[in-house]
Amino acid sequence: MTGFEQHGGCRGAAPGLSDSKCSGLLSRVGSSVGPERGRARPPGTMAGSDTAPFLSQADDPDDGPVPGNPGLPGSMGNPKSEEPEVPDQEGLQRITGLSPGHSALIVAVLCYINLLNYMDRFTVAGVLPDIEQFFNIGDSSSGLIQTVFISSYMVLAPVFGYLGDRYNRKYLMCGGIAFWSLVTLGSSFIPGEHFWLLLLTRGLVGVGEASYSTIAPTLIADLFVADQRSRMLSIFYFAIPVGSGLGYIAGSKVKDMAGDWHWALRVTPGLGVVAVLLLFLVVREPPRGAVERHSDSPPLNPTSWWADLRALARNPSFVLSSLGFTAVAFVTGSLALWAPAFLLRSRVVLGETPPCLPGDSCSSSDSLIFGLITCLTGVLGVGLGVEISRRLRHSNPRADPLVCAAGLLGSAPFLFLSLACARGSIVATYIFIFIGETLLSMNWAIVADILLYVVIPTRRSTAEAFQIVLSHLLGDAGSPYLIGLISDRLRRNWPPSFLSEFRALQFSLMLCAFVGALGGAAFLGTAIFIEGDRRRAQLHMQGLLHEAGPTDDQIVVPQRGRSTRVPVASVLI
């Protein structure tokens, strides 16, 4: 018996392969380790050290993807040896146990909750001048409100990511949203001398958002595949800019109607109760990853948390796209909090609006206008990005990261111009903000789709969580506070005036344009690795590839009459 047979053959190396696949692999072992490839690797050599690894040869004409035959989400095709078919509506219903109408209803509920999350997050920004007056705080303290919330959200995301990959996702979301609603309601009753308590409650709001944002996209991934998934994700991520815009609108209008900014924080908790009821009654838990596996493929089992982290760290498409998304978070976090205040200061300098004096309610239409622009540019940008990417995939498998890069690199000069023109024309400022935010919004759904097709289902919640950690840690967790801090430091060196307040915030916000350009470079790097990482994830889900572990990273094959150890990846060609 040969050494390969003693170790269980190719079935031992990759459980789940059929007899025909096994025989095909065996017939190719000789060419994998024979003289054409040089001397066999010595024991201990890992798959990653292969000088010509199969999975990285994205442009190889024999083994590359087959254009026009899409398989799994976002793919341009699959290895010719194994082309999975995309399930139709009937197949999806059989796999998930849910009708197409019920699946669409679940997405609608998730969109409503995502809308509510971002509406609550930016209601505070819509009434920020009133909060500054009520608590008697400066720009740096105002930025700290958002920073505390994002920091809490960021720290808790890995916890819910771990739980979301292993436990019932619906109940996790229900508990988190109920807690978030209660804390938000409580924050509206804080007296003016206890600003620290407002910071505490905003930090606790991060519990609810972390429980939802890390889990909801993975539910959509388990209900739909291919172009259907991209469309549903685009609908889901419409809620981010639309919800943000509604937050500004609701904050400013409810404050005007009630005559008290505190009532602006009491709108979303009531809607949160409705969200919990809809989650409990409508949403059902689909099986993880079932829509992406072959019927004869073995089920995917969760690995340890440290194994998940190691695999994600070795996934360059995930790491680089997360860095690119970090730049998006930095820019949007800064603009979301400071744009209405900046526009108000611009109007004061231009003489179009009276200054906001202590003890007076700050009257300005800028929060409403900026909210409407955010809603419109969000819908336009997300839809435009998904549609352009979908059309380009047929001719360019790297379309997703390239569209993201174009959006960020294109938005940077327009955001810079919007700030530079604010001293001369508020109309020109709004036009440039509109174009810049549209280009910036092209990234939201595409980044989520990239994550879902380069990461296997059993670690997607963890991947979502750590993308949140990275993007917020280096992005919008610190950017609002950083912008406010730079503004305060600049004002110290200038004589106190309304013009000084405007110029300080103007110069500090220009940092966003440079960060956006860096994010575009990260997405260009993602385009280099996207094909190989996508193919690895596909093969893993089909049971054709297994990650190397401490005991199964090598198998034994016959080599010139003797047994030779080689990495599993060398055989699975």
pLDDT in tens, the chain (573 residues): 444 344 444 444 444 444 444 444 434 433 333 333 333 444 433 333 333 333 333 333 333 343 333 333 334 344 443 444 555 566 666 666 677 788 888 888 888 888 888 888 778 877 777 787 788 887 677 777 877 887 787 788 888 878 877 788 888 888 888 888 888 888 888 887 888 888 888 888 877 777 777 788 888 877 877 677 777 877 887 777 778 778 877 777 788 787 777 888 888 888 888 888 988 888 887 777 666 655 555 566 667 878 888 889 999 999 999 999 999 989 988 887 788 888 888 888 887 777 766 555 555 677 778 878 888 888 888 889 888 998 898 889 899 999 999 999 999 999 999 999 888 888 899 999 999 999 998 888 888 889 888 988 778 878 887 888 888 788 877 787 888 888 888 888 888 888 888 889 889 999 999 999 999 999 999 999 999 888 888 887 776 666 654 444 444 445 454 544 444 444 443
Return the number of other C-beta atoms located less than 10 Å from residue 488's C-beta: 17
Q: What is the pLDDT of residue 230?
A: 75
C-alpha–C-alpha distance, residues 273 and 283, integer Å? 15
Q: What is the pLDDT of residue 363?
A: 59
Kindly report each contact of residues 36-43 with a partner whose C-beta sits within 8 Å and lies 24 or more positions away, as own/partner. Answer: 40/559, 40/564, 40/566, 41/565, 41/566, 41/567, 41/570, 43/554, 43/565
3-state secondary structure of 565: strand
The CA-to-CA distance between both ends of the chain, in Å, stands at: 23
- On whether the CB atoms of residues 504 and 488 are closer than 8 A, the answer is yes
CA nearest neighbour of 150 among 121, 127, 128, 112: 121
C-alpha–C-alpha distance, residues 164 and 157, integer Å? 10
Return the number of other C-beta atoms located less than 10 Å from residue 547's C-beta: 17
C-alpha–C-alpha distance, residues 505 and 502, integer Å? 5
The CA-based dihedral angle spanning residues 87, 89, 95, 96, taken in that order and rounded to the nearest 10 degrees: 130
Alpha helices in 34-167 (DSSP H): 89-96, 100-126, 128-135, 139-164
Amino acid at 459: R
Q: Where are the beta strands (DSSP E) in 281-343?
A: none
Kindly report each contact of residues 66-70 with a partner whose C-beta sits within 8 Å and lies 24 or more positions away, as own/partner. Answer: 67/394, 67/395, 67/397, 68/394, 70/226, 70/227, 70/393
Q: What pTM value is reported for the model?
A: 0.62
